[in-house]
C-alpha cells in the first residue's frame, strides 16, 4: 500500500442567527452586501436557513444547481480589485473587531479592573447557529490523491461505492469540497479535463463539485506569510523582528520550518496582547497624568530616541541591542480605582484606531509634511500590528462560527498573500470571494460558507475548521490507533477509518477518566502573563509604536515591496555601475497589504495579477466573452426535483497531509 486517503462526509447546517443585546452589535448592512451581494437576505435574531423548505417551497434541488451553472457562465463584472477586496465599511468592521480583541487582551492582564458592564463583541455579519454537526467518517482508501486521476477515483469510491449516492446526485446537486489549495487545484484540473465529456453517466462530467480552500490550511499559510514578512534576518535581527522576540521569550525554534502551528499561534497571541497592553497603558497614563507623561517623554535619559547622537544610526543599533536602563517600573495595580468603564472604552478605542488609521505610506507622508523625519521602527511595528491583528480575528471568527467575518478576513488576506508570493492561495481566495458574490444563488452561498465550519460539541464557541477536524482524524489514524505493516493492514485501516468519530470520543473519555487536565500545549495563566509582560517591556523600552520626530532607521523594512532594490539600482545607474547583482532581500519587511494591492491592480489596464486571474477563470469556466479555444459544451438539461431526500446538502473533506504507509504494507 503506497498511498492512502481518509475522508469524512458531514451534514452542513446553513442556518444563521444573530445574538441579541448591546454586547452583540451587528455590522453595517453594506458589509453583508459587499460579501454576499445585495440580493442576500440579512440574518435576524430568529434562526434562518436559506436552504430549508420554508425558503424553497418547490424544492432546493435541482433549481439552485441550474442557477449556479447559469451564473458561472456569465462574465464577471468589471470591478477593480480595490473595490472587491476593500471598502470603508470593511475597514470599520475590522477596526471594531480588533478593538474588541485588544480590550480583552488588556483586561486579561489587568484582572483587578473588574467592570460590571459587558464590552461589545466584534460586530456580527453572518453568524452560524450553534448546533452539533453530524459527521460520518469514511474508510481508508488505497488511492494516490496527489494526482488528477486519484482525486476522481476518491469521489467514485467514496460517494458512488461507499455512500452510494444516486446518479442524479451528480446532475442535480452541488457538493461542497473543503480541502487544501493543492487538492482543490487537482479537482479543478479534473473539472477542466472533463468539461467536454459526453458520457451518459452524470458523474463523468465532474461538475457537481464546488472546491474551496480550507480554513485551517489558510491559517497555516498566513503564519508562513507573517514569518516571511516580519521574521527578520538570521544574523543580527532587529529587536522588533519575530526572530529576536521569539528567542527572548523561549520560542527558540519558532521560525524553523516546518512551522509548528500551535507554537506560532501562541506566540502571535502573546505578541498581540503585549502590543495592546503597551499602547493602551501609555494612552491611559497620558489621560490620567498628561503633564508627567509629557515631561518624561522629553528627557533624553528616559527616551533613547532623543539621544544627542545622530538619530538614524544610533536608533538602528538600539533596535538590535536594546538596553535595560530605560525600563519603567509601574505599580502592580496602577489603574485600580482610577479608570472607569466609559473612560476605558473611549481611550482603548482611540488608541487602537490610531494604530490602524493609516497605511505605512500615508503615515509617512503625513509625518513628513509636519517636518518630522522617517521612523522605520514605528512604520514597521504598526504594519506588524495590523498583520498580526488579522490573524487574531481570523481565529476568533472561526471559533464562534462567524462565517461572514471569516470571508471578510479572506478579503484582507489576498493582497498579503500576493505580496509574499503565495500565489496559490491568492487564486483560491479570489475564487471564494468572486464566486460567493457573483456566481451563486443565495441558498448556495449560505451552504458553502457553512461548509467551512464543523461544530462537534454544539456549543457557541466550539466551531472548528472543517479541515482541522479531518487533520485530527488523520493524527488518530497514524498515532492513536495505528496499524502495523501486516497483510491485512488495508482491511484494518478501512475498519478503523470508519470508526474514527467513535474512537475519538472514547479517547477523550479515557483522558477525562484518568484525570488528564489537558493534552494541549497552552501556557498556564501565570506563565502567559509573564511572557506578555516580557514582550511588553521591550515594546515600552523602545517606544516602537510612537513616532520619533528625530527619525529612526531600520535595515529590515521598506514601505513598498522592492523600494530598497529600486533605490540601490538608481544609485548604481547614476554612478555608471552594473545592476545585475541586485536581488530582493528575503528578510525585508514591507506594508504587505499595500504592496499586494499594487501587484493585484497593476500599473496599466490588464497588467495586474487580478486581471490575469480573471482571464484564466473565464477561460476555465467557459464564461461569456472568454477567449476560449473550443466551443462550450452543451449544458445538461435538468429535469424536475430530485426525489432522494437523504442527501439534501452534504460536504466532503479529505486529507493526506503527512500520511505515509509502511514499505511492507500489502494492498
Hey, is 464 helix, strand or coil? Answer: strand
DSSP codes of every residue in 164-214: ---HHHHHH--EEEEE-HHHHHHHHHHHHHTTT---SSGGGG--SEEEEE-
Q: How far lies 353's CA from each of 280, 340, 392, 593, in Å?
A: 11, 20, 16, 17
pLDDT in tens, 284-341: 999 988 765 554 445 443 444 443 333 334 444 444 444 444 455 677 788 888 999 9
Q: How far lies 110's CA from each of 50, 238, 293, in Å?
A: 43, 29, 21
pLDDT of residue 646: 39
Assess contact for 666 and 22: CB atoms under 8 A.
Answer: no
DSSP codes of every residue in 586-599: TT-B--HHHHHHHH
pLDDT of residue 130: 94
Helix (H) or strand (E) holding 463: strand 463-465
Q: What pTM does this model have?
A: 0.86
pLDDT of residue 294: 53
Look at residue 379 and tell me whether its pLDDT is greater than 70: yes
Looking at residues 363-384, what average pLDDT do you find? 93
Cis peptide before 343 (omega within 30 of 0): no
Binned at pLDDT 50, 70 and 90, residue 647 comes out as very low
Assess contact for 442 and 430: CB atoms under 8 A.
Answer: no
- Strand-strand pairing, 175-179 and 453-455: unpaired
Look at residue 660 and tell me whether its pLDDT is greater than 70: no
Phi, psi angles (nearest 5°) of residue 52: -90, 180
Sheet holding 175-179, edge to edge: 135-137, 6-11, 650-655, 175-179, 209-213
Supply the Cα-derived Rg of the chain in whole angstroms.
27
d(CA 298, CA 294): 7
Q: Give 565 or 626, the one with higher predicted confidence.
A: 565
pLDDT in tens, 149-198: 888 888 888 888 888 888 888 889 999 999 888 888 888 888 888 776 67
Closest CA to 223 of 432, 416, 25: 416
Hey, is 375 helix, strand or coil? Answer: strand
Looking at residues 416-425, what average pLDDT do you find? 92
For the chain, give every domain's residue range: 13-77+126-218+422-521+609-655, 96-120+233-394+525-569
pLDDT in tens, 342-370: 999 999 999 999 999 888 999 999 999 99
DSSP codes of every residue in 392-415: HHHHHHHHTTBHHHHHHHHHHHHH
pLDDT in tens, 428-463: 999 999 999 999 999 999 999 999 999 988 898 999
Amino acid at each position: 500500500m503506497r498511498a492512502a486517503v481518509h475522508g469524512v462526509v458531514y451534514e452542513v447546517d446553513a442556518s444563521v442567527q444573530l445574538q441579541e443585546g448591546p454586547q452583540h452589535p451587528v455590522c453595517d448592512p453594506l458589509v453583508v452586501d459587499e460579501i454576499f451581494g445585495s440580493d442576500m437576505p440579512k440574518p435576524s435574531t430568529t434562526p434562518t436557513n436559506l436552504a430549508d423548505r420554508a425558503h424553497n417551497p418547490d424544492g432546493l434541488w435541482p433549481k439552485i444547481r441550474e442557477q449556479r451553472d447559469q451564473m458561472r457562465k456569465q462574465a464577471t463584472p468589471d470591478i477593480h480589485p480595490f473595490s472587491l477586496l476593500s471598502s470603508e465599511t470593511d475597514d470599520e468592521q475590522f477596526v471594531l473587531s480588533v478593538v474588541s480583541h485588544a480590550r480583552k487582551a488588556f483586561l486579561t492582564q489587568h484582572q483587578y479592573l473588574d467592570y460590571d458592564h459587558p464590552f461589545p463583541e466584534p460586530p456580527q455579519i453572518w453568524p452560524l447557529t450553534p448546533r452539533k454537526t453530524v459527521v460520518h467518517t469514511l474508510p481508508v482508501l488505497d488511492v494516490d490523491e496527489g494526482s488528477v486521476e486519484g482525486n476522481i477515483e476518491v469521489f467514485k469510491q467514496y460517494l458512488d461505492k461507499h455512500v452510494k449516492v444516486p446518479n442524479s446526485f451528480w446532475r442535480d446537486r452541488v457538493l461542497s469540497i473543503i480541502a487544501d489549495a493543492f487538492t482543490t487545484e487537482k479537482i479543478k484540473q479534473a473539472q477542466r479535463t472533463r468539461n467536454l465529456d459526453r458520457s451518459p453517466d452524470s458523474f463523468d462530467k465532474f461538475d457537481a463539485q464546488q472546491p474551496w480552500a480550507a480554513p485551517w490550511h489558510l491559517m497555516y499559510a498566513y503564519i508562513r506569510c507573517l514569518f516571511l514578512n516580519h521574521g527578520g534576518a538570521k544574523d543580527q535581527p532587529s529587536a522588533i523582528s519575530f526572530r529576536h522576540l521569539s528567542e527572548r521569550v523561549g520560542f527558540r525554534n519558532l521560525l524553523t520550518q516546518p512551522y509548528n502551528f500551535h507554537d506560532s499561534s501562541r506566540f502571535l497571541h502573546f505578541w498581540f496582547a503585549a502590543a495592546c497592553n503597551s499602547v493602551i497603558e501609555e494612552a491611559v497614563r497620558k489621560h490620567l497624568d498628561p503633564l508627567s507623561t509629557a515631561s518624561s517623554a522629553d528627557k533624553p535619559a528616559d527616551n533613547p530616541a532623543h539621544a544627542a547622537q545622530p538619530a538614524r544610526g544610533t536608533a538602528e543599533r538600539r533596535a538590535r541591542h536594546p538596553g535595560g536602563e530605560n525600563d519603567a517600573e509601574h505599580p502592580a495595580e496602577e489603574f485600580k480605582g482610577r479608570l472607569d468603564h466609559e473612560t476605558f472604552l473611549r481611550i482603548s478605542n482611540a488608541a487602537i484606531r490610531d494604530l490602524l488609521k493609516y497605511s505605512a505610506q500615508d503615515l509617512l507622508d503625513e509625518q513628513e509634511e509636519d517636518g518630522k523625519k522617517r521612523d522605520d521602527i514605528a512604520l514597521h511595528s504598526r504594519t506588524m500590528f495590523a498583520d498580526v491583528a488579522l490573524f487574531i480575528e481570523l481565529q476568533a471568527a472561526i471559533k464562534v462560527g462567524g462565517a461572514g467575518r471569516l470571508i471578510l478576513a479572506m478579503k484582507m488576506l489576498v493582497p498579503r498573500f500576493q505580496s509574499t508570493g503565495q500565489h496559490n492561495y491568492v487564486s483560491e481566495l479570489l475564487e471564494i470571494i468572486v464566486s460567493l458574490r457573483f456566481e451563486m444563488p443565495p441558498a448556495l452561498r449560505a451552504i458553502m460558507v457553512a461548509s467551512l465550519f464543523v461544530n462537534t460539541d454544539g456549543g457557541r464557541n466550539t466551531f472548528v475548521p472543517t479541515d482541522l477536524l479531518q487533520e485530527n482524524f488523520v493524527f488518530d489514524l497514524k498515532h492513536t490507533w495505528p496499524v502495523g505493516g501486516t497483510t491485512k493492514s488495508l482491511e484494518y485501516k478501512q475498519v478503523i477509518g470508519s470508526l474514527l468519530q467513535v474512537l475519538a470520543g472514547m479517547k477523550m473519555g479515557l483522558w477525562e477518566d484518568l484525570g488528564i487536565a489537558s493534552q494541549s500545549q497552552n501556557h498556564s495563566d501565570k506563565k502567559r502573563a509573564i511572557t506578555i509582560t516580557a514582550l511588553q517591556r521591550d515594546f515600552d523600552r523602545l517606544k516602537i509604536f510612537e513616532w520619533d520626530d528625530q527619525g529612526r532607521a531600520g535595515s529590515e523594512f521598506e514601505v513598498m515591496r522592492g523600494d530598497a532594490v529600486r533605490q540601490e539600482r538608481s544609485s548604481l545607474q547614476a554612478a555608471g555601475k552594473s545592476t545585475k547583482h541586485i536581488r530582493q532581500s528575503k528578510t525585508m519587511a514591507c506594508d504587505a497589504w499595500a504592496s499586494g494591492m499594487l501587484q493585484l491592480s497593476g500599473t496599466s489596464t490588464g497588467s495586474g495579477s487580478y486581471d490575469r486571474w480573471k482571464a484564466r477563470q473565464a477561460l476555465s469556466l467557459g464564461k461569456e466573452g472568454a477567449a476560449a479555444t473550443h466551443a462550450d459544451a452543451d449544458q445538461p438539461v435538468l429535469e424536475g426535483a430530485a426525489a432522494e431526500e437523504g442527501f439534501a446538502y452534504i460536504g466532503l473533506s479529505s486529507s493526506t497531509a503527512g500520511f505515509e504507509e509502511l514499505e511492507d504494507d500489502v494492498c
